[in-house]
Amino acid sequence: MTLAGAPPRPTATVRRALGLLRRHARSAYLAAVAATLVNTVPDVVRQLLVWDDPSVVAAVAVDVVGFLTALVAQLWVTGAVADLPDGGPLRPAGALRRGTGLAGAAVRAATGTVAAAVVLGGAVSALLTVPASVAAIGWQRVLGPLDAPSVGGFVVATVSDAVASAVTLPFLALVLVLAGRRSSVHQPEREARRRG
Among residues 13, 172, 15, 187, the alpha carbon closest in space to that of 80 is found at: 172
Contact 31, 91 (CB under 8 A): no
Task: Read off the amino acid at residue 42.
Answer: P
**Tens of pLDDT along 144-191?**
787 888 899 999 999 999 999 999 999 999 999 999 988 654 444 444
Q: Quick one: pLDDT at residue 7?
A: 58
Which SS3 state, helix, strand or coil, does residue 153 take?
A: helix
Q: Is 181 exposed, middle or buried (0-12, 13-18, 19+ CB in 10 A)?
A: middle
Q: Quick one: pLDDT at residue 192?
A: 40
Q: Quick one: pLDDT at residue 184?
A: 57
Among residues 173, 184, 164, the alpha carbon closest in space to that of 20 is found at: 173
* Total-model pTM: 0.86
CA-to-CA separations, 17 to 78, 116, 137, in angstroms, rounded? 12, 12, 34
Q: How far apart are CA 171 and CA 177, in angstroms?
A: 10
Give the chain's residues under pLDDT 50.
1-4, 185-196
Q: How far apart are CA 19 and CA 24, in angstroms?
A: 9
Among residues 46, 71, 45, the alpha carbon closest in space to that of 58 is found at: 46
Q: Quick one: pLDDT at residue 49?
A: 83
